[in-house]
Structure 1
Amino acid sequence: MASRLGRRLLAIGAVAGMTVVAGATAANAAPAPDGLTLIATRQSLLGTHNWYQQTYRGLPVVGGFYATHLDSRTGKTEIQDGRITIKGTPAAAASYARSRAESTVTGRLAGTLMRSSEAVIEPGTTARLGWRTLTRTGHGTVETITDAVSGTTLTERNTVKEVSGSGQVFSPNPVATLQNESLTDSSNANSTALAAAYKTVTLTQLTSGVTTLKGAYANNTSSSAVTSSTRTYTYNRSQAGFEQVMAYYHLTTAQEYIQSLGFTDVNNSAQTYRTTGYTADNSYYDPSADSLTFGTGGVDDAEDAEVIWHEYGHAIQDDQVPGFGSSAQSGAIGEAFGDYWAYTMSSAVSANTTVTPLACIADWDAVSYTSTTPHCLRRVDGTKVYPGDWENEVHADGEIWSRALFDIHNALGRTQANSIILEAQFSYAPGTTFAAAANTTVTTAQTLYGTAAATAVRTAFQARGII
């Protein structure tokens, strides 16, 4: 399976100049060879999606992209043109050395260099030649663009996508399985109260010839990674191996579910993860390293499958659309899809009750930081409407989008809803707006399942004020 490392779209800041040309033919949709580099090709149910990095003088333009979406049935191609106009004349040579930029940035951030910096073009009022440095820190990867002439910092951002909270196997978690909102973390202790929540499962897709939790769809990179010559990984929650097994199992079953819908190219490779070493009550997906990290503060995050599925949602979208989440609204869609993915995966293994409603996400993880019941990180059945309830915070604003997906799920059922949602995401722009993504999803529903499905999807988005 093709590796996804090294092909990340440089998506920083707002994307300008996007146009969608419906009905273009494959012949006239092909981009010119100059100024574009193919970085990803993805196959969906409806066609082929090619993603290109914009370049200038052979260097990547930060945030510039171009995409073609070929409909395999009609032969027509839709184009997303996110190329950015280069204003001014960037320097052709660097007077501020790469090594100096690297040492300055990593020293300031108290981190380690992930790989050698690359030269890029940072657009703006006046485009600049810059060094793009990736620094691994205790809080994920930080991406810094340093002016290659003056040495000043042009832009800097932490690239991780986070969920607030923390996490044998539990499926999905002991609160939902036991219908008991009074359970507590008790400093990670195992207890008889949790005994009935454990479930013995089959770990599928393990790689032949290895004794670690490495397989076709998940790869455990935790420190002191558990091993077994007999491939028997039985631990309780007080042991570090438990969370490693949890992540492997729930990531693998999520990918197997995606493939059961007919998708063979949605994050279809071994997802790297670690469940040790990060002591915060938080978890994140780092697109620069294509890796999931689960924190151990409070309830260990990877003890709650809904946290695992939320973070996997980020990895799914980043694989479908390189650099996804580069704007406030697309960032909110990312958090919303993570919550929704936790909801839809949980719906297959747990009951919807008044004690533990399915719409309540991460109800085991949340016992560490909530006092009311049911304990929830967030819910996907909220009443927020755009734009009145917009707060400009991706997790809060994501509740607008996740409610729409929740309504689509209830209207069409799990299979149709998830087929539509996953298919539509192939055609989202990295910095898409709510309205553009919603309209794409409506069109996808029409194409896959007809007018009734499209109407249900449109109604769900209209109820949230999105279209």
Structure 2
Amino acid sequence: MSRRRKALVAVTAGLATVSLGLSFTSAAGAAPGAKTDPNGLKLVKTKTSLFGTHYWYQQTFKGLPVIDGYYAKHVTKSGTTEIADGRDAVPADLDVSAKVQAASATQSANSAVTARANRARIAGPGKSLTQQPAATSGAAQLAVIGGPNARLVWNVTSRSTEGVSRSLVDAKTGSVVASKVISDNVDGHGSVFDPNPVVSEQNEKLTDMNDKNQDALFLAQKNVILRNLDGSGKLNGSYVNIKEAKGGIAQNKNNNFIYQRANDKFEQVMAYYHVNQTQEYIHSLGFTDVNNESQDFSIDTFAGDNSFYDPSTDMITMGEGGVDDAEDAEVIWHEYGHAIQDDVVPGFGESEQAGAIGEGWGDYWAVTNSVPVSKGFNLPCVMDWDATSYTTDEPHCLRRTDGTKTTDDIDGEVHDDGEIWSRALWDIHQNLGRTKANKLILEATFFYDPDTSFAAAAQDTVQAARLLYGKAAAQTVTDAFKARKIL
């Protein structure tokens, strides 16, 4: 454990005589008892551990808290004492009358936090994103900053898409002195299908039954940890923001989000868990700037049997027609694939072939994310559970990524033509392995043009393979595209 230990080089009048009241200069000092002592120390917490008692004090100046100023006294059961002195020097003549009002300081702080949150969502030059909701304030209190730049400040707590921030606003000038996120990511608990009940139960006979709870579907639910939550009690976190949902946003102060599938909030948990999982996987590949934001979702708000990503609002909408789309992780991953490409390549999909690449990539991304949890069942079928509502043949699939189409079969419909691209990616996956394939495919995406062609995007992918893994890997990728008559 590391501790900050600071010497007082210019003490205030209140701290000048350390021997007054409690003595913290020797192990034999008086036991802490008073809430505030003449040295400006305010007892804020007493904790008991296996080895002793721990007294934590807030440093104050003229009744105001000193930012980050602390003093701790650890008294063991054997009678020894350890001191951790984290006080800052404050000039005795520091004026603690504010010229700037709390409301003005709050406005300045919230503006700074909102601007930072928006900057954090911009992935690269030219990226145009919808402005995020303005930060809101919880409280503004006067405080003191000690040290060589001692001053009176307003300590403003704000909420934004980043979580909870603390901003210090100079109470004389109104300028924002410092601002940082102080909230921590927390873990929650949820229940999900992983990736969907057809796959996890290996049962093609399952049907939706108009969203009813069923014993077979209850058995398909899996209890999971929901990582990277922002602690707000909602399904908001580093990579997912459930912005709107049928029946209202799921909320739980203890971050427990366990529902059966008939509850519309179940789909909110699905979206949060599976997008968080796929972003953690992307990070494990070494990428820190692939849609590295809190992606907005609208859950069960579209009555049709369709889901879509809207680049104009950076929102993924999950439909509720047939099987609720967000009950199938492969639908979620497909739509998230579109958000990934739009984030990496602003305006991606301007040509028909670029649009087909987007659809093929979305199908591929759904399948490759299913690989670790599918136990090989019916790969590479796409959207097994969702497809039970509109297909009669078994296995139930919307599409597959192992089809036989080549560029000879191009018909101008992006989903049809996307099957050409997804097969090439699946062949790369099969021949190079999941990790290498996904790493080089994501890397290649950064070099796509918004209106790219099959051939141009294939060449980018071959080049990424060559740079990452050498000539043999590049030849494997080339062969996959040649088999589709793309190269």
Correspondence for 2:193: 170
Question: Which residue identity is paired with 1:214?
Answer: N
Other structure's SS at 2:439 match: helix
Equivalent of residue 368 in structure 2, options 322, 327, 344? 344
Q: Structure 1 residues 6 and 202 mapped into 2: Cα distance closer, same or farther (>3 Å)?
A: closer
The answer to whether the Cα contact below 8 Å between 2:121 and 2:293 also exists between their aligned partners in 1 is no
1:180 matched to 2:203? The reply is yes
The match for 1:306 is 330
Partner of 2:418: 398
Q: Name the SS of the counterpart of 2:225 in structure 1.
A: coil
The answer to whether 1:430 aligns with 2:454 is: no
Q: Structure 1 runs of 4+ off > 2 angstroms?
A: 1-7, 50-53
Matched position secondary structure for 1:277: strand
In structure 2, relative to structure 1, the CA distance for the partners of 1:369 and 1:52 (3 Å cut) is: closer
2:234 counterpart letter in structure 1: T
Percent identity (aligned)? 56
**Partner deviation per Cα, 1:303-345 (whole Å, 9 max, x = no partner):** 0000000000000000000000010000000000000000000
- Pairwise CA distance, 1:453: 0.6
SS in 2 for 1:465: coil
Instruction: State the shift of 1:266 in Å.
Output: 0.3
Partner residue in 2 for 1:201: 224
Give the alignment of 1:339-378 within 5 angstroms.
Answer: 339-353=363-377, 357-378=378-399
Letter of the 1:169 counterpart: V
The question of whether the paired residues in 2 share the 8 Å contact of 1:294 and 1:302 is answered with: yes
Alpha-carbon distance in structure 1 between the residues aligned to 2:216 and 2:283: 36
2-structure distance, mates of 1:335, 1:169: 25
Q: How far does the alpha carbon of each residue in 1:211-257 deviate from its partner, in whole angstroms, 9 at most, with x for none?
A: 11000000001230010011100101100110000000001111000
CA contact (8 A) 2:424 2:481 kept: yes
What are the residue-to-residue correspondences of 1:414-425 with 2, within 5 Å?
Answer: 414-425=434-445
- 1:82-106 CA deviation, whole Å, 9 max, x = no partner? xxxxxxxxxxxxxxxxxxxxxxxxx
Kindly indicate whether residue 267 of structure 2 is the aligned counterpart of residue 247 of structure 1: no
Amino acid across the alignment from 1:235:
Y
Confirm whether residue 211 of structure 1 aligns to residue 211 of structure 2: no
Q: Contact (CA 8 Å) 2:356, 2:417: kept in 1 or not?
A: yes
**SS of equivalent residue, structure 1 residue 205:** strand
**Maintained 8 Å contact 1:5/1:289:** no
Conserved in 2, the CA contact under 8 Å of 1:266 and 1:319? yes
Of the two, which has the highest radius of gyration? 2
Q: Number of residue pairs matched?
A: 311
DSSP-derived class of the 2:308 partner = strand
Name the aligned partner's letter for residue 469 of structure 2: Y
How much does 1:361 deviate?
0.3
Map residues 79-94 of structure 1 onto 2, 5 A cutoff. Answer: none
Aligned to 2:64: none
Contact kept? 1:351, 1:358, Cα under 8 Å? no
Kindly state the Cα deviation for residue 445 of structure 1 after the two structures are TM-superposed: 0.3
Report the Cα distance in structure 1 between the residues aligned to 2:241 and 2:119, rounded to whole angstroms: 14
Secondary structure (helix, strand or coil) at the match of 1:265 reads: coil
Structure 1 counterpart SS, 2:302:
coil
Structure possessing the higher relative contact order (Cα contacts under 8 Å, 6 or more residues apart):
1
Q: Which residue of 1 aligns with 2:214?
A: 191
Q: How does 1:275-314 map to 2 (within 5 A)?
A: 275-314=299-338
Deviation at 1:276, TM superposition (A): 2.5
Give the secondary structure class of the aligned counterpart of 1:186. coil
Aligned AA (2:403): G
Distance 1:445 1:360 in 2: 26
Please give the residue correspondences for 1:104-253 in structure 2 after superposition, counting only pairs within 5 Å: 168-208=191-231, 210-223=232-245, 224-253=248-277
- 1:305 and 1:52 map into 2 onto residues whose CA distance is 28
Please give the secondary structure, in 2, of the residue aligned with 1:188.
Answer: coil
Distance in 2 between residues matched to 1:3 and 1:375, nearest whole Å: 42
Q: CA deviation at 1:196?
A: 1.8
Relative distance call for 1:52 and 1:233 in structure 2 (3 A) is: closer
Q: 1:406 to 1:190 in 2, by over 3 A?
A: same
Query: How far did 1:6 drift?
Result: 9.4
What is the match of residue 453 of structure 1? 473
Distance 1:320 1:182, change over 3 A: same
For residue 51 of structure 1, report the CA deviation from its aligned partner.
Answer: 4.9
Matched-pair contact (CA < 8 Å) for 1:3–1:269: no
**Aligned pair in 2 of structure 1 residues 6, 169: CA closer, same or farther (>3 Å)?**
closer
Residues in 1 aligned to 2:411 and 2:214: alpha-carbon distance in whole angstroms: 41
Among candidates 265, 276, 290, match of residue 289 of structure 2? 265
Gaps spanning 5+ residues in structure 2: where?
1-115, 133-190
| Residue 413 (str. 1) matches residue 433 (str. 2) | yes
> Does residue 441 in structure 1 map to residue 422 in structure 2?
no
Shift of 1:2: 5.8
Report the counterpart of residue 124 of structure 1 in structure 2. Answer: none
Amino acid at match of 2:391: T
Output the amino acid matched with 2:442: L
Cα separation, 1, equivalents of 2:482 and 2:126 = 30
2-structure distance, mates of 1:269, 1:360: 29
Task: Tell me the amino acid that sits aligned with residue 438 of structure 1.
Answer: A
State the shift of 1:5 in Å: 9.9
Aligned residues of 2:127 and 2:346 also touching (Cα < 8 A) = no
- State whether structure 2 residue 344 is matched by structure 1 residue 323: no
